Amino acid sequence: MKVAVAKVNDYQPKNVQAGVEAALESLGGLGCFIQAGDKVLLKPNMLEGLPSERAVTTHPEVVRAMIRQVKRLGATPVIGDSPGVAGTLKTAEKCGILAICREENVQLIAFENSAEYQFPEGKTLKKFRLSEVLQQVDKVVSVAKMKTHTFMGMTGATKNLFGCIVGVQKAQFHLRTRQRREFAGMLIDLALLVKPVLSVVDGIVGMEGNGPRNGRLVQPGLILAGENCFAVDIVMAEIMGLEINSLPVAALSLELGLTPPCSAIERVGDGREVRHRFVAPRSMQSLEDRVPAWFARWAANHLTARPEICPNCILCGRCVAHCPPQAMKIAGGKVRIDDAKCIRCYCCQELCPENAVRLQTGLVLDLANKFMK
């Protein structure tokens, strides 16, 4: 079990190329995972069409570096994703990935049509509806971004695969797996089904706080790579200074034996000793995973951070349109939230273009957190 960590100071193309190549060489080279003739889906994080300097999406130069590495082996790379808000083409254009695809003469595929995939060995879900593109490629590589995440604590190699679910169908998965541990179980089943042969993480510039869209920029200056997406995420969490047991995917992957403990993962590369202290998202103060499930459901309004609309809301309606349980509406010139329907998925906070959704903890949660410390 090996994870490579390479230092990369900036997004200058030659520096990114060198960093990605160094990380892959530390793993034995890309040829250990991809062979000539393979059609390879490079799956970047394209959450929303924002400039690459916002660090919301995988940087286009990291995508370019991976495209060139795949081509060098005589394989065919394609780029694909299903963004959270707009279409793939528009999102890729705004974040700079479309330009890279055109410059490198690589196909950009929108995940528009889905197919049913049976997964009888799944612990949480036995079947998925995912992009049919997965049936048309030989290998999948997750090309993720180092960020915090208001619902799952952290997004990385594993969470990046959630983009294989097409468009608004993502909402159904939020509704079916409402608690963090359930959602983590779904993501783990998804990763085991998709089976990425390699995971690469853009950690040159990352995000802390209320990620994955509205956090603050941090510059770890790193590229991570590894065969096991769960191990890559655990090493990434340690680098970010996050408590691994508080991260649902990391904690559950350890519990299921899908990755060894952090101390048993071999780290290679010149960045293996780098450590930071990322600010965790406020929503991770939730106690839902430290109390019985029945109690968490009964007391959800008191034991989780509650989304509230700030005065800088521009009434764009994005949160209303993308709320999985349809707990939000615009009435009387304001966005109103039905707390009884809210499932605390924080999609509203994640997608708000004005950072106008704050996560407010109640008195009970504040007191309970002080008691648990």
Q: What is the pLDDT of residues 256-280, one digit of tens each?
A: 999 999 999 999 999 999 999 999 9
Give the three-class secondary structure for 23: helix
Q: What is the pLDDT of residue 306?
A: 82
Q: What is the pLDDT of residue 172?
A: 81
Q: What is the pLDDT of residue 296?
A: 52
pLDDT at 294 over 70: no
pLDDT at 288 over 70: no
Sign of CA dihedral 305, 166, 111, 322: negative
Q: What is the pLDDT of residue 371?
A: 46
Sign of CA dihedral 35, 115, 91, 195: negative
How crowded is residue 172: how many other Cβ atoms within 10 Å of its Cβ?
Answer: 12
Over residues 100-111, the mean pLDDT reads: 97
pLDDT above 70 as % of the chain: 91
Q: What is the pLDDT of residue 304?
A: 66
Q: Which residues have CB under 8 Å from 113's CB, separation 6+? A: 131, 132, 166
Q: What is the pLDDT of residue 55?
A: 97
Q: What is the pLDDT of residue 284?
A: 63
pLDDT at 139 over 50: yes
Over residues 99-111, the mean pLDDT reads: 97
Report the alpha-carbon distance of residue 278 to residue 209 in Å, rounded: 7
Mean pLDDT over the full length of the chain: 91
pLDDT at 361 over 70: no
pLDDT at 344 over 60: yes
pLDDT at 195 over 60: yes
Q: Are 124 and 185 in contact (CB under 8 A)?
A: yes
Q: Amino acid identity of 196? A: P
Q: What is the pLDDT of residue 202?
A: 98
Residue with more model confidence, 191 or 292: 191
Report the predicted TM-score, pTM, of the whole model to 2 decimal places: 0.86
Report the alpha-carbon distance of residue 72 to residue 36 in Å, rounded: 9
Over residues 34-45, the mean pLDDT reads: 98
Over residues 186-192, the mean pLDDT reads: 98
